Amino acid sequence: MSKALDVPKSLETEINETAAIARSITHSSLGDKAQSDLRAKLLKQLKEQDAILVSHYYVDEDLQDLAEESGGTVSDSLEMARYAYEHKASTIVVAGVKFMAETSKILSPEKRVLLLDNDAECSLDIGCPIDEFSAFCDQHPDRTVVVYANTSAAVKARADWVVTSSIALEICTYLRDKGEKIIWGPDRFLGGYIQKETGADMIMWQGSCIVHEEFKAEALMDLKRQHPDAAVLVHPESPMNVVDLADVVGSTSKILNATRELPNKKFIVATEDGIFHKMKQYSPDKEFIAAPTAGSGATCQSCAQCPWMKMNDLQRLENVLNTGSNEILIEENVRADAERSLKRMVDFANKHIRPDMKVTGDA
């Protein structure tokens, strides 16, 4: 059985309005010398404040480069949190969106966690508010609650399991084999993919990523015909008819690894376009083509950009380091319950996949 709960129109409106505000934000252009001077200042501040910069694949390439230059990391959200947890730095600075910073705070409660912009949201997070989701779960007490990592700390705390896209299939198969019925939230496309692959009994919250839901199968088929030698890489937050066209379906980490491991010299990529920076670094001799989306205008062939990820820039990093603003705080009872759900996933990976596994791969 696969049923979905419709997201209220009020939440759709909030998502669209919040995204529109994020898209309207402008970024100051810096000359080469000003940018060089700012980078040097930020490197010094990070060191002086015993801070580590962790950046997601989807943010501005300058932040990605600075994270690695300063001893931080560029990765998916759970690996960002794991890296920061294991690092000796007392302050974690997150270049990404709010749920990513919250995940770092969940795993590292004793550390100061700063987010570059406190308004950097996620449509999956906004579309799954704790009160509504908790009430839905209460209506189905016989079901195991499994939530995607792209959720608030409060939703993670309400869940039995937190999963990333790289391990969701294994965990839902495990629960199916135990005869457990599942409430899945919040991404309906990822949930539908998992339900199709596992046959698990799932009731799904009807959320979506505003980036991945825009990829279009018909336009992708046309692009494949234009580039028959290209491998198609798709994140499973995309619609099912797009996923069905993929050569590789997987998390950001799996997609990135596929560009290094497959023999193809050309790839069509259906995920947020910030990941192209790292792909080009790893494989400068290969070509990467953005998968087509509906876009906001008739000439838009791929507008695969998360408006909230694009809020992050060097100037916002400077402001956070200057002021200590945007610190992430979570009530301890919520944090502890969210940590329990996250660690259940990690324990499963260590027991059932391989003992030395680093669990990665969500948004």
Residue-wise DSSP of 321-349:
HHH--SB----HHHHHHHHHHHHHHHHHH
pTM attached to this predicted model = 0.91
- Residue 65: other Cβ atoms inside 10 A: 15
Three-state DSSP at 51 gives: strand
**193 vs 241: CA distance, rounded Å:** 10
DSSP line for 275-322: GHHHHHHH-TTSEEEEPPB--SSTT-S-----TTGGG--HHHHHHHHH
Q: Give, to the nearest 10 degrees, the angle between helix 314-323 and helix 61-69.
A: 50
For 186-228, give the DSSP string.
SBHHHHHHHHHHH---EEEE-B--TTGGGB-HHHHHHHHHH-T
Contact 309, 115 (CB under 8 A): no
Record the tokens describing residue 332, joined without a space: 């301890």
Closest C-alpha to 359, from 77, 99, 102, 78: 78
Q: What is the pLDDT of residue 5?
A: 55
In one-letter notation, the amino acid at residue 166 is S
Q: Which tokens hold the place of 304?
A: 């695969």
CA proximity to 252, closest of 264, 265, 236: 236
Q: Which helix (H) or strand (E) holds 153?
A: helix 153-158
Identify the pLDDT of residue 360.
Answer: 43
Give 14: exposed, middle or buried? Use CB within 10 Å, 0-12, 13-18, 19+: middle
pLDDT by 10s per residue, the chain, length 363: 445 456 667 788 999 999 999 999 988 888 889 999 999 999 999 999 999 999 999 999 999 999 999 999 999 888 898 899 999 999 999 999 999 999 999 999 999 999 999 999 999 999 999 999 999 999 999 999 999 999 999 999 999 999 988 899 999 999 999 999 999 999 999 999 999 999 999 999 999 999 999 999 999 999 999 999 999 999 999 999 999 999 999 999 999 999 999 999 999 999 999 999 999 999 999 999 999 997 554 455 558 899 999 999 999 999 999 999 999 999 999 999 999 999 999 889 888 875 444 444 445
| Separation between Cα atoms, residue 162 and residue 61, nearest integer Å | 29
